[in-house]
Amino acid sequence: MVAASVYSQDVTVLQINAKWNERNNYDLSNITGAVVKFSYLKDQPKDIQKSIVAVPVIVIMDKSGRVRMQYIADISLQIKVGNLEIQNNVDRVSKLWIQ
């Protein structure tokens, strides 16, 4: 679903937003145990742009690049989820790869 390169062996948290909606960027600075990335919607391939119905979007991907969780903005163009929920999902995805 997401056109992002995942080169590390870690979980990746990717936020995609539009420049005009920057005031609603989600603060992911407290997320640990993951590579946190940001990209503008305009920088995504056209097929990805068309598939995103609201911004911002936060995607949690495992080390293979598979999307494991996604959060999408509501009608207010904001993501209404706490950092703790995102962190818990990062931790859960990380544990899937610990063998």
For residue 96, the model assigns a pLDDT of 77
Per-residue pLDDT of 31-85, as tens digits, reads: 999 999 999 999 999 998 999 999 999 999 998 889 999 999 999 999 999 999 9
For residue 4, is it within any domain?
no
For residue 2, is it within any domain?
no
**CB neighbours of 78 closer than 8 A, spacing ≥ 6?**
24, 26, 56
Dihedral sign for Cα atoms in the order 95, 16, 46, 5: negative
Q: Could you give the 3-state DSSP secondary structure of residue 77? A: coil
Full domain range(s) for residue 48? 11-92
**CATH number, domain at 36?**
3.40.30.10
Residue 4 pLDDT greater than 70, yes or no: no
Tokens representing 81 are: 């989820």
For residue 1, is it within any domain?
no
Q: Domain count for the chain, please give it.
A: 1
